Amino acid sequence: MHSGKGRSSTRRPPLLLLLAGTFGAAVAALPLIYLVVQLGRAGGSDVLGAVLRERTLTLALTSLALSVIVAIGCLILGIPMAWALACVRLPAPGLWRVLAALPLAIPSYLMAFAWVSTRPGLSGFWPLVAIMILACTPYVTLPVAAAFRLADRRTADVARTLGRGPLGAFRAATLPQIAPAALAGALLAALYTLSDFGSPGLLRVQTLTWAVYAAFEGGLNRTLAAATAAVLVVLAITLVLIERVVRARAHRDGAPSARIGPIVRTSATYTRITAMVGMAVVAAFGLGVPGAALWRRGLDSRVAGVDWQRLIQSAITTLGVSVGGAVLAVALGLPIAVLAARHRSRVIAIPESITYLSSGVPGLVVGLSLVFFTLNTVPVLYQTSLALCLAYAVIFLPKAIGSARSAIGQVPEALEDVSRSSGRGPVHTAATVTARLSAPGIATGGLLVAVTAMKELPATLMLLPIGANTLATELWRHTTTTAYAAAAPYAIALVVVASIPAYLLSRAELDGTDD
């Protein structure tokens, strides 16, 4: 007998829910619609010429190589760190969890700023790869640590009894169980790298994102901008589709089983020392160097003077638009999450598929699409905070949907059936049963959107209201002019503001599966 947990209902979804889900998917599809319209306006020969330019192909290969190498590096670094967090009895475990998650609060361009200010003249492809790996590894570490905690260790024990060594048993029994989480994290790292604008700019590596922004800012060739953005989107969507195919195969080959019994952590001295030394080295490069650079530049800024009013206003704006974007993302994504969790069918799955397809669209293209949309349909929204919040919602909508869908799927449908059988209507049941039990997961999705939106740069530069500033844009403005001392207060404030939700996220990800 099914317990009701995780099942998908065969009941027909309410019309209002379908309409709300369709609306959310339509909003998410705006960037794709924008590209189709822009490319349709241009002649086919012009678009083909822009796409097949040697310059465009070179930028595409650079961007793709950067994303793939960073994703592989995050897997190589993140999986051992996740294993250490989940399977090794470490002293002060909370400290190591925070150190593993804290890079989420540091934008990659801030980390690049710290390294460039520490080593003036630092530039090039491989330094950029190293910085992006340090910035993106938590995308792999956090979900894989949770997967390790849920993995069924009986299969590894069986492999050991059959004569396989520790590595052989891990590869045969445990790796297939954590592979879906690892691939999902690697995809996030690859997409983040592909869409990043600030770090390549600071390290003087020209990528597709840089080319799109340059073409847009120049305003002389919108066809080139749209065609280059289309290449960027195709690369991103290709990464999404490849990850989904590989992850589906990993699910079939080794879907994780429910863990039985308490998790057993190793206490071997050599293993504990190795794990602590390795994570300390990663923290030193990913957190220590940026922290020291910010401290040093912060002392310099005391001498140069700090515009406290501008700093406080930027922090308030950052909080306002990021929280607004998170609320909007949850509002747009919740109906889609309910449909995905409770009313699975090929037709009903279309809204969710559209949002995840749109997740491959970088923030730069989202910013371009909303500039186009607001100017041509709702001019009153152009360069307003609402337009920026909408951009955040579109960019990070899959994060809100994923958390909400998982949370709603964990609520047994039997509880909803009992509520309805006692005379409560579907709306009352959804509010008093489903929403109440899934609220923590929904809030986690909103929190993830908020902390990520605080660091978003390209769309913010395009859509920020005239006269307003965020911590990210102020940091970017000062670093592009090499005013490192003036940039330091904004960098420190951004880390402090983003560290709070990042810490809460680390607790949710890593403690949520603890015994």
Compute the average pLDDT of residues 453-460.
87
In which band, very low, low, confident or very high, does the pLDDT at 219 lie, cut at 50, 70 and 90?
low
Distances (CA, A) of 76 to 81, 140, 171, 403: 9, 10, 14, 26
182-196, 243-257, 354-368: the lowest-pLDDT one:
243-257
Per-residue pLDDT at 430:
65
Average pLDDT over the chain, rounded to whole?
Answer: 79
In which band, very low, low, confident or very high, does the pLDDT at 258 lie, cut at 50, 70 and 90?
very low
Decide: 140 and 74 in contact? Cβ < 8 Å: yes
Structural domains of the chain, ranges and CATH numbers in brackets = 11-30+305-515 (1.10.3720.10), 42-258+267-299 (1.10.3720.10)
Alpha-carbon span 383 to 371, nearest angstrom: 8
The CA angle 505-509-510, to the nearest 5 degrees, is: 115
Sequence-separated (6 or more) residues with CB below 8 Å from residue 160: 166, 169
Per-residue pLDDT at 291:
84
For tokens 């958390």, the residue is: 403
Which among 153, 180, 345, 327 is positioned nearest to 257, based on CA atoms?
Answer: 153
Coil vs helix vs strand at 483: coil
In which band, very low, low, confident or very high, does the pLDDT at 429 lie, cut at 50, 70 and 90?
low
Quick one: tokens of 513?
A: 């599966």
DSSP secondary structure letter of residue 103: G
Alpha-carbon span 402 to 181, nearest angstrom: 13
| Alpha helices for 88-120 (secondary structure H) | 93-101, 108-118
Assess whether pLDDT exceeds 90 at residue 496. Answer: no
pTM above 0.85, yes or no: no
Per-residue pLDDT at 1:
38
Which range scores top for mean pLDDT: 123-137, 145-159, 472-486, 496-510? 123-137
Alpha-carbon span 509 to 100, nearest angstrom: 12
419 compared with 141, residue with greater pLDDT: 141
Per-residue pLDDT at 304:
60
Distances (CA, A) of 229 to 214, 304, 332, 367: 11, 40, 25, 11
Which among 10, 44, 20 is positioned nearest to 335, based on CA atoms?
Answer: 20
In which band, very low, low, confident or very high, does the pLDDT at 364 lie, cut at 50, 70 and 90?
confident
Q: For 185-216, how does the pLDDT look when each residue is reduced to its tens digit (9 = 90+)?
A: 888 889 889 888 888 988 989 998 888 877 77
**Number of alpha helices (DSSP H) and beta strands (DSSP E) in the chain:** 26, 0
Alpha-carbon span 191 to 364, nearest angstrom: 12
Per-residue pLDDT at 441:
74
In which band, very low, low, confident or very high, does the pLDDT at 260 lie, cut at 50, 70 and 90?
very low
The CA angle 364-191-397, to the nearest 5 degrees, is: 70
Compute the average pLDDT of residues 54-75.
93
Which among 157, 178, 169 is positioned nearest to 79, based on CA atoms?
Answer: 178
Compute the average pLDDT of residues 107-117.
85
221 compared with 141, residue with greater pLDDT: 141
Alpha-carbon span 65 to 175, nearest angstrom: 25
Quick one: tokens of 137?
A: 């590894």
Q: For 303-320, how does the pLDDT look when each residue is reduced to its tens digit (9 = 90+)?
A: 566 778 888 999 999 999
Quick one: tokens of 330?
A: 């949850």
For tokens 């369709």, the residue is: 22
Per-residue pLDDT at 513:
46
% the chain with pLDDT above 90: 19
Per-residue pLDDT at 285:
92
